[in-house]
Amino acid sequence: MRFDRRTATTYRFVTACLIVLAFSRSSVGRAAGDEDRVRSRYEKMEYRIPMRDGVKLFTIVYAPRESSKIYPILLERTPYGIGPYGANAYRETLGPSRLFEESGYIFVYQDVRGCYMSEGSFEDVRPCLLDRRDARAIDESTDAYDTIDWLIKTLPNSNGKVGLWGISYPAFYAAAALVDAHPAISAASPQAPLVDWFVGDDTHHNGALFLQQEFNFDAVFGIPRSGPTTESNPAFHHGTDDAYRFFLDLGPIARADELYFHGKHKFWNDVMNHGNYDLFWKRRNLLPHLDRVKAPVLTVGGWFDAEDLYGSLHVFQRIEETSPGIENVLAMGPWAHGGWNDFDGGASLGPITFGSSTSRYYQTKIEFPFFEKHLKNRGSWNPAKAIVFETGRNSWRELDAWPPRNALRRSIYLGSAGTVGFDEPRDRAISFDEFVSDPADPVPYTSIISIDYPATFMIEDQRFVAGRADVVSYRSAKLENDLTIAGPIEVDLYVSTSGTDSDWVVKVIDEYPVRVDRIAAAKAPLDDLPHDQPRVTPGRDPSRQAPLDRLAGYQRLVRGDVMRGKFRERLENPKLFEPNRPTRVRFSLQDVYHTFLRGHRLMIQIQGSWFPLVDRNPQTFVDIYHARAGDFQKATQRVYHDRERPSRIEVRVVPN
């Protein structure tokens, strides 16, 4: 039976909106503080700092009123505005957390070039300079360099050390400042940095457009302005709270500009005109430039970050590979985008609990000690290489490498009759599962009706799609021992399609056991219950029941991602599928550190759409961003699992 998305209750919708709102706030600022408290401790100053090409960047400085001491500078550069503007208007909180404000820092905030009160022209993820011989040529590295140089030479009571930090887009600027960095940079913490918008961050994953995120972001960001301003762009009104319906009614995404943007949204047009991994995207990849980093780096990310998990993992890995000898630390917790920024947060996400305030642990035990050590030479900070939270078992781990050195590569194979396990298939006969993927009826990625993507979708119960005919599921036997996997998950599928292109969405799921004492009507043995049978009291919404009811049989998403099939060999050169011919498709799901507890089951789901998180593939070999309605066709998809075509995922298993 198809899932009817409109049957979700008002309670679930309101709850989801509150969760999204909480995480949205945490990603751009802390909980409301006391403006008078900040005013009593800090003096505010506004400057226009000249760059090497003459453009002036608007900068706000909050310096401690206690002027008998010297302090380090903590700098955040952002395209999102640094208000409140005006000499007498103060922020309510300063720095990454209240701990910094109480310790005493010179806090500096800057509107990046072309945003709000800064002069110049804005460019999304401005490419790094390839030739630095032109003394007036600029990029984000030179703007950071010139800013820091001015601050060090101008501000009184500075100890000459500068720290950089930021979350999401500001984290990109923090990371970019490490390229040909100013020698005063003594510590940097890029937190959920975006680094490659075609491979794995925000805009695309493996060449597939993350439609809902990109459309909603471009609708309100980066609209050309007439000059410096304190005003934000106007809000965009979708006319509905149902993102699934809005984007389905949109039709081919080429209509977005015609219907809504009207040529005013430059980056949306750039996305539409660069459908392959061409020079436009490659020049915006920050990773190749992050070599020879000299300052200590703390890279931060969340396991449930739907936007920039890729950036966190790969900034750490790149620096580890190219800058030996420096302190390079990875901190990963059970957070959605920016969730570590809420001091009392991180104890749960949706119905999944983590046993404590993981955000408080991060802020007090990791972030604050890192900056105190390197900017003030205080404390006993002596970190492990990777400080990561193990989900499933809900424990912090300190490791000397990421992924863990003792993790062993193991293959988990898809089998016939919806099974999955460590044994290779032995059947010589052709064996496959088949489903029809229909662009007119794409598989939803969440059961929650909202115009914004809910933070909880990264751990959502997947039973809401388990009954669809266009989703194939594979389920292990009940685990006799804990199974811990750490690091990336490598997907290796043998598939075919009756079309000439298709998407392949792979989800790894932790299925919780059914609790017999909570199933009054169940007469079958526990192991004999079908995996798609509802595990809740009839007539009651799962999210409103007691925790044992709510998590009984819960199919918890651990990791999922998409591969746009035409990019299976190279993102630069799309290649069509030969209809109905078995073809190998390989790609990586982003890293996890998760334990499937004894008594749970490991599940894998495969489907051809994930809407509207991911745009619809027409399933014909066309330029999707300029596709017409007639290009969208149903396709019959097959997933093979025989001896000659052993579809599998490869994981790294940590010995218990």
- pLDDT tens digits, one per residue of 543-581: 333 355 679 999 999 999 999 999 999 999 999 999 999
Distance of CA 226 to the CA centre of its chain: 32
Amino acid at 40: S
- pLDDT tens digits, one per residue of 10-37: 333 333 333 333 333 333 334 445 899 9
- Mention every residue, 6+ apart, whose C-beta is less than 8 A from residue 523: none
CA distances from 108 to 73, 77, 93, 164, 181 (A): 7, 8, 13, 10, 18
- Mention every residue, 6+ apart, whose C-beta is less than 8 A from residue 466: 473, 531, 532, 555, 605
3-class SS string, 345-362: CCCEECCEECCCCHHHHH
Top-level class of domain 21-195+289-399? alpha beta
- Mention every residue, 6+ apart, whose C-beta is less than 8 A from residue 288: none
Phi-psi region of 189 (alpha: psi -120 to 50; beta: other; left: phi over 0): beta
Nearest alpha carbon to residue 482 among 592, 416, 393: 393
In angstroms, rounded to a whole number, what is the distance separating the alpha carbons of residues 242 and 287? Answer: 36
In angstroms, rounded to a whole number, what is the distance separating the alpha carbons of residues 76 and 319? Answer: 21
Q: State the pLDDT at residue 330.
A: 98
Q: How many CB atoms lie within 10 A of CB 502?
A: 27
Nearest alpha carbon to residue 484 among 588, 388, 345: 388
In angstroms, rounded to a whole number, what is the distance separating the alpha carbons of residues 191 and 366? Answer: 13
Q: State the pLDDT at residue 549.
A: 63
Q: What tokens does 310 get?
A: 């890729």
**Domain ranges for the chain:** 21-195+289-399, 405-434+452-609+640-654
| Kind and range of the H or E run holding 401 | none
Q: State the pLDDT at residue 522.
A: 34
CATH of domain 405-434+452-609+640-654: 2.60.120.260
Q: Is the sign of the CA dihedral 562, 395, 379, 158 positive or negative?
A: positive
Q: What tokens does 630 get?
A: 């007639």
Q: State the pLDDT at residue 151.
A: 98
**What stretches in the chain show pLDDT beneath 70?**
1-33, 516-549
The DSSP string of 40-71 is: HHEEEEEEEEEPTTS-EEEEEEEEES-TTS-E
